[in-house]
Structure 1
Amino acid sequence: MDSTLLDTYRRTEYRVRLARGGWACIQVDAPLPTPLHALIGPHDWAFITAWNPLSRQQSRRQNHAAQHALLQAVRALPSTVAIRPAIGVGAQWREPSLFVIGPALAEVDALARQFQQAAYVHGLADGHARLRLSSDQPPRGQAG
């Protein structure tokens, strides 16, 4: 993965909509924000989107259709505990996303590949947020 794109992912704000309003902002390599701790409990979590596969701009119609398909796929996972609306916010873009609680890394890896996402953010319980590369090409897994 190109270092500029990797830096862009690291600088992105990963915002999760809170049940009582407002947002909690996840940052790569930082602890999970306190407002999300009770929601997460002991579970794995992931922040994922289906927008702009392979980091290439798609039409709004294509992105909405892909995001709807991702939501259906996440709902179909037996390990899903909860789903919260989310949005990835970069310097000059916004991508509707999902904050998903419950699925294991292997399940989210499969979704990322299915929806052609180069990376996603994940964590375990209230630990640090990590960027995970989903490419079949090395380096695969945790971004260093």
Structure 2
Amino acid sequence: MDETLLAAYRRTDYRVRLGGGGYASIRIGHPLPVALTGLVTGEPWGFITAWNPRSQPRPPSQNRQAQRRLLHALRELPATHFIAAGVGVGENGWREGSLFVVGPDVESLDALARRFGQHGYLHGHGQQPAQLRLP
């Protein structure tokens, strides 16, 4: 992955929709926001998308269809016990629908990232700082 794309990942605001309204922002290298720590309770978590495989823009209809397939795949993983809607927001207004998931380990998320053509995703364990993973 080139440095420009890595820099874009680092600057992105990874937002998770909260059940009571609003959102919590995850940032690479920072601990999870307090609003999310109660959801993870020491478990592994990820922030992943199926949008724009290999960083190539796709029509919204194709992105939504791929995202539904990713949601279904996450629900099928036995370790999954929570999923919330999310969105990655770039500095230039770029947005990608995403999913915040609690339970699956990095091996499972790596497999899904590869299956859906993603260069990377965020992950962590409990309250540890969010990390960019390049499967």
TM-score range, shorter chain: over 0.9
Distance (Å, rounded) in 2 between the aligned partners of 1:38 and 1:30:
16
Could you tell me which runs of 5 or more consecutive residues in structure 2 were left unpaired when the two chains were aligned: none
- Other-structure match for 1:101: 102
Structure 2 length as normaliser, TM-score?
0.98
Distance (Å, rounded) in 1 between the aligned partners of 2:75 and 2:18:
19
- Other-structure match for 1:88: 88
- Other-structure match for 1:17: 17
CA deviation after TM superposition for structure 1 residue 104, in Å: 0.5
What is the 5 A alignment of 1:120-131?
120-131=121-132
Report the secondary structure of 1:61's partner residue.
helix
What percent identity do the matched residue pairs reach?
52
Distance (Å, rounded) in 1 between the aligned partners of 2:61 and 2:24:
27
- Amino acid of the residue matched to residue 126 of structure 1? Q
Distance (Å, rounded) in 1 between the aligned partners of 2:68 and 2:61:
11
Higher RCO structure (Cα 8 Å, ≥6 apart):
2
Structure 1 length as normaliser, TM-score?
0.92
Distance (Å, rounded) in 1 between the aligned partners of 2:44 and 2:81:
10
- Other-structure match for 2:67: 67
Aligned length in residues: 134
- Other-structure match for 2:37: 37
Distance (Å, rounded) in 2 between the aligned partners of 1:55 and 1:11:
16
CA deviation after TM superposition for structure 1 residue 5, in Å: 0.2
CA deviation after TM superposition for structure 1 residue 19, in Å: 1.1
Runs of 4+ in 1 over 4 A off after TM superposition: none
Could you tell me which runs of 5 or more consecutive residues in structure 1 were left unpaired when the two chains were aligned: 135-144
